[in-house]
Amino acid sequence: MTKIHYKVGVDVGGTNTDTVILDQNNNTIIAVKSPTTEDVQTGILNSLTKAIETSNIDKKLISFVSLGTTHATNAIIQRKGLSKTAVVRISLPAGKGVPPMSEWEDDLIKSIDAKVYMVHGGFEFDGKPLYLEDLDREECAKVLEEIKTQNFESLAVSSIFSPAKNDHEVKFAQHAKEILGDDFPVTLSSEIGSLGLLERENSAILNASVVGVARKAVQGLITSLEKMNVTSKIFFAQNDGTLMSVEQAINYPILTIGSGPTNSIRGAAYLSDEDNCIVADIGGTSTDVGILVNSFPRQSALAVEVGGVLTNFRMPDLISIGLGGGSIVKMDEDDNIQIGPESVGYQLKEKALAFGGDTLTVTDIALAAGIAQIDDEDCDVERLSNLDTDLIKEAISKIERIVLDACDKIKTSPDPLPIILVGGGNIVVPASEVLLKPENSGCANAIGAAIADASGEIDQLWSLDNKTRDEAIEEAKSVAMERAIEMGADSSDTKIVDIEAVPLSYLPGNVLRVQAKAAGSLKL
Amino acid sequence: MSRLIDEKDIENIALGAAILGTGGGGDPHIGKLMAQQAIKEYGPVTLLEPNEVPDDALVVPVAMMGAPTVFIEKIPNGDETTKSLRRLEKYMGKKVYAVMPMECGGLNSTIPFVVAAQTGLPIVDADGMGRAFPELQMETFNVYDVSGTPMVVSDEKDNFVVIETQDNDMMEYLARGITIRMGGVGYIAHYTMTGKKMKSASIGYTTTLSMELGSILRSKDDNYVSPLDKMKKVLSTSDYGEPIGLFEAKIVDVDRSTEQGFAKGTVKLEGINDYTEKTYVVEFQNENLIAFEDDRPIVTVPDLITFLDLETFKPLTTESLRYGYRVLCLAIPTPSIMRTEKALKVWGPKYFGYDLPFVPVEERVMTND
């Protein structure tokens, strides 16, 4: 029998900070909510304290605490506390055609006080050096000395084809340590993004700019947990549904900013006991639809905009549609029912008919149809008695249609998949054979954080001159496995969860792009 | 009348060219940024109508060739194609009067604007495909007897190769090999011709057309006219035929494989809205080539087949197609210069391995009704 121990998951949302405590068999011991605070940290500690005190568990038996935080997201959106960042692109003699941050808004560049330096180096797709095998030490030293005198606080380094070969980025970071000190934050693009220099570089620069904020936040959380006598391991939830160490969370905070939706998707799937499913998280004004493939949210293949900047780090693939509990229902010119995208949003309790308002919302329809019940003294279903029954019926089927269409869009094959409905707005959609509503779905996000795994990835171009396609794929798989184990995955339980091999178009040579991902549960 | 092309026009050209690009040519993003950067630095570019070019003037098409996947990683310096052009001038001992694009779609609709801005040369409103194709001999220039060489291929490290071959098939073969050795992308200038030849061996007004199509997709006007109707209006005054909304459908399967640098694939679709109970198949090799309705071919290359997102009307590249997309499939009859017997030998269905005759899409659709 496994020894009794507890896993604690915390997820910071827009309104609430949720905490769950699971036992060694992933049974929920307790789930609590506490308001999210402006500084994020106080909300986390309040929620955590509430969960531990109410459940009365032995703190010594907590094996790890997994935190999904929004520090980095808030810093980028509010442009507050961003570090003064130096940007180095290792690309000469190529790469001058589109300089770093070409598409950034001026005020964002100003808020990180960025300056760009370009140096010689980088590689071809097949690993041949673009310039010399090694960096020019003197050239690097000159750039770094200037960075030193200009009081930069953070450094972002990118180089051509670094996802395939990051030697020059790593070497530059070593030079940086010698000149700027061991403690100076250096972000390497190869640690964050995949192929596509501009988007990967953008990701690195954004990350470098929030390192300062993240350091303070992470250290603050650790100190507070120590004060609470919680001495277990601490992890942070990242965008792809896996965990990162404290050290990584300090160095690569950008990888946490999509963790909210990911935690919801994984938690919902866990509650429904599904490894492959679609999850629709229905809120007040919109619904996020994601898909879980072999227990992990499928990642977006396209560039994702963060703070107005195109990036390509791991983010869950989501479809957002304008349907929520507050969506307005009206008739269009041809007398067809129209649902959303306008919504009364957070004013549901003032504007919806059932609450005495003057606007017909999706929630009213669900109440009138008897699908939803709202336990609130201001809500009176009698106010809806005049609604036409045909209208109600038609609206319900339309709502269902909207959800099913969005779910169908995110699929990659016609095979049927269960659809799991979570979020506060899920009361407006009737459950059915294909639309499932798990119990406890209110804390799906925190459960998602508590059950997260460790993972490793690779995205590289392989020349097939001296190697077969299968050999390249096997090599990629084993690198991904090694990286997952490095990240803390239990080697006995680690497996490949995603593999894709695509030859390059317009090049009749032998070049294969292989992306592989491995994951496993945390070794405790 | 000639006109000036500014940064905003480039936005429309890149988007509109994607409609004519029939799903191929790679992501236009970086090409667009480079052209906008060059125009910002050197000022707007003069776009000449074909008939404004003197008969004895030297016109040179310019482009990038190779893998878009490499291009998004190994970003060029921006002056590679200009250097190829200058090297070609030196080799020939002649001065270039104007540059022009080789194709519509992807990167190569905007790369010539980088060269034009940097050199101050005008750009001719015409190209050699009127769409996107994967190989260099697939040019009206080749079909109508322009030699593809001398040709200069260069890279970002100032390596230059001058190619002189006996025919244009050999030119493509050698240039493709050199491009691989240059790291997957090469910057080219070739198919040098006189203004007179250009007028008879190219497809006119494709930049203006791209610009107008792009502006239709980007405009949000209050008097709701469907984008398709607006496209019809624009195309009706061009050398292309009137566009045909072939069908609205949902993608139910995308089967991909890659052979010899071609991203081949088959898209299966099920009709929706007015097209329910019909099934469709579109075959692509980098670009969309053949469309079938219930196993009957309805569009054959070189006629254009373009998928637009049914909600946003944005053109979709073959790389981005996947299960569940709701699409409007658009067919555009190609200009007659691309449908001659000589032309069809170079890019008809048979060249791509289909045992089908080319039948103009407007005729197939007519017999259907």
Structural domain count, chain B: 2
Task: Identify whether residues A381 and A460 lie together within a single domain.
Answer: no
Would the CB atoms of B74 and A413 count as touching at under 8 Å?
A: no
Task: Identify whether residues B178 and B248 lie together within a single domain.
Answer: no
B157 near A CB under 8 A? yes
> What residues have CB less than 8 Å from B62, skipping those under 6 apart?
B81, B84, B85, B99, B100, B101, B102, B111, B112, B115, B187, B188, B189
Task: Identify whether residues B103 and B250 lie together within a single domain.
Answer: no
Find out whether B28 and B18 touch, Cβ atoms under 8 Å: yes
Domain ends where: B150, B183, B206? B206
Q: Which residue has the higher pLDDT, A77 or A278?
A: A278
Nearest CB neighbour to B324, from listed A124, A410, A504: A410
- pLDDT of A484 strictly over 60: yes
| ipTM of the complex as predicted | 0.88
Task: Identify whether residues A92 and A187 lie together within a single domain.
Answer: yes
pLDDT of residue B369: 46
A355, part of any domain: yes
B187 near A CB under 8 A? no
B219, part of any domain: no
Give the residue on A whose Cα is nearest the Cα of B264.
A505
pLDDT of residue B355: 95
Task: Identify whether residues B281 and B181 lie together within a single domain.
Answer: no
Task: Identify whether residues A285 and A427 lie together within a single domain.
Answer: yes
Q: Cα B186 to the chain's mean position, in Å?
A: 17
Q: How far, CA to CA in Å, does B203 sit from each of A287, B37, B141, B190, B336? A: 47, 27, 10, 17, 10
Domain of residue B171, CATH code: 3.40.1610.10
Q: Print the domain residue range for B299.
A: 241-368
Q: Euclidean distance between the first and final Cα of chain A, in Å? A: 16
Task: Identify whether residues B12 and B135 lie together within a single domain.
Answer: yes
- pLDDT of A71 strictly over 90: no
Task: Identify whether residues A190 and A86 lie together within a single domain.
Answer: yes
Domain ends where: A189, A210, A231? A210
B144, part of any domain: yes
Q: How far, CA to CA in Å, does B103 sit from each of A131, A134, B162, B330? A: 32, 39, 22, 19
Task: Identify whether residues B68 and B183 lie together within a single domain.
Answer: yes
B225, part of any domain: no
Structural domain count, chain A: 3
- The span from the CA of A149 to the CA of A140, in Å, is 14
Which residues in chain B touch residue A507, judged by CB atoms under 8 angstroms apart? 66-67, 70, 179-180, 184, 261
Would the CB atoms of A507 and B67 count as touching at under 8 Å?
A: yes
B234, part of any domain: no
Q: Euclidean distance between the first and final Cα of chain B, in Å? A: 41
pLDDT of residue A78: 80
Ranges of residues in chain B with a pLDDT under 70 are 220-224, 258-262, 366-369
pLDDT of residue A302: 72
Secondary structure of A198-252 in HEC code, one letter for each residue = HHHHHHHHHHHHHHHHHHHHHHHHHHHHHHCCCCCEEEEECCCCEEEEHHHHHHC
Task: Identify whether residues B363 and B251 lie together within a single domain.
Answer: yes
Domain ends where: A210, A236, A261? A210
B48 CA: distance to closest CA in chain A (Å): 26
> What residues have CB less than 8 Å from B43, skipping those under 6 apart?
B117
Q: Print the domain residue range for A500.
A: 453-520
A513 near B CB under 8 A? yes
Average pLDDT, chain A: 88
Domain ends where: A411, A440, A469? A440
Phi, psi of B262 (to 5 degrees): -100, 125
B136, part of any domain: yes
A441 CA: distance to closest CA in chain B (Å): 27
Note the pLDDT tens digit of each residue in A393-429.
999 999 999 999 889 888 877 788 999 998 878 888 8
CB pairs under 8 A between A and B: 130
B177 CA: distance to closest CA in chain A (Å): 8
Task: Identify whether residues A457 and A436 lie together within a single domain.
Answer: no
Note the pLDDT tens digit of each residue in B121-168.
999 999 999 999 999 999 999 999 999 999 999 999 999 999 999 999
Which residues of chain A from 355 to 414 reach within 8 Å of chain B, CB to CB? 408-414
A132 near B CB under 8 A? no
A63, part of any domain: no
Q: Give the pair of three-digit tokens for residue B114.
A: 């980088």
Task: Identify whether residues A413 and A345 lie together within a single domain.
Answer: yes
Task: Identify whether residues B145 and B291 lie together within a single domain.
Answer: no
Helix (H) or strand (E) holding A112: none
A235, part of any domain: no
Task: Identify whether residues B196 and B50 lie together within a single domain.
Answer: yes
DSSP letter (8 states) at residue A93: T
Indicate the pTM of the whole model: 0.86
A311, part of any domain: yes
pLDDT of residue B224: 63
Note the pLDDT tens digit of each residue in A96-121.
999 999 999 888 899 899 999 999 99
- The span from the CA of B13 to the CA of B21, in Å, is 11
pLDDT of residue B293: 94
B10, part of any domain: yes
Task: Identify whether residues A87 and A178 lie together within a single domain.
Answer: yes
Domain of residue B294, CATH code: 2.40.390
Task: Identify whether residues B151 and B88 lie together within a single domain.
Answer: yes
- pLDDT of A506 strictly over 80: no
Task: Identify whether residues B202 and B248 lie together within a single domain.
Answer: no
pLDDT of residue A504: 67
pLDDT of residue A458: 84
- The span from the CA of A465 to the CA of A461, in Å, is 12
- pLDDT of A34 strictly over 70: yes
Domain of residue A351, CATH code: 3.30.420
- According to DSSP, the residues that pair with A118 across neighbouring strands are A89
Angle at B88 between CA B4 and CA B287, to 5 degrees: 65
Phi, psi of B137 (to 5 degrees): -80, -10
Task: Identify whether residues A118 and A147 lie together within a single domain.
Answer: yes
Would the CB atoms of B76 and A122 count as touching at under 8 Å?
A: no
pLDDT of residue A40: 81
A379, part of any domain: yes
Task: Identify whether residues A483 and A372 lie together within a single domain.
Answer: no
| Dihedral in degrees, nearest 10, Cα atoms B52, B53, B56, B60 | -170
A72, part of any domain: no
Nearest CB neighbour to B322, from listed A102, A412, A511: A412
A265, part of any domain: no
Task: Identify whether residues A424 and A403 lie together within a single domain.
Answer: yes
Task: Identify whether residues B189 and B287 lie together within a single domain.
Answer: no
Most confident range (mean pLDDT) of A45-49, A244-248, A290-294, B309-313 is: A45-49
Domain of residue A178, CATH code: 3.40.50
Task: Identify whether residues A117 and A198 lie together within a single domain.
Answer: yes
Task: Identify whether residues A477 and A397 lie together within a single domain.
Answer: no
Would the CB atoms of A413 and B260 count as touching at under 8 Å?
A: no
pLDDT of residue A2: 63
pLDDT of residue A508: 61
A40, part of any domain: no
Q: Cα B265 to the chain's mean position, in Å?
A: 19
Note the pLDDT tens digit of each residue in B308-324.
988 778 899 888 888 77
Q: Average pLDDT for residues A124-129, to the nearest whole number?
A: 88
Q: Where are the alpha helices (DSSP H) in B227-339?
A: 227-236
- The span from the CA of B175 to the CA of A65, in Å, is 58
Task: Identify whether residues B190 and B333 lie together within a single domain.
Answer: no
Give the residue on B whose Cα is nearest the Cα of A126.
B183
pLDDT of residue B261: 62
A492 near B CB under 8 A? no
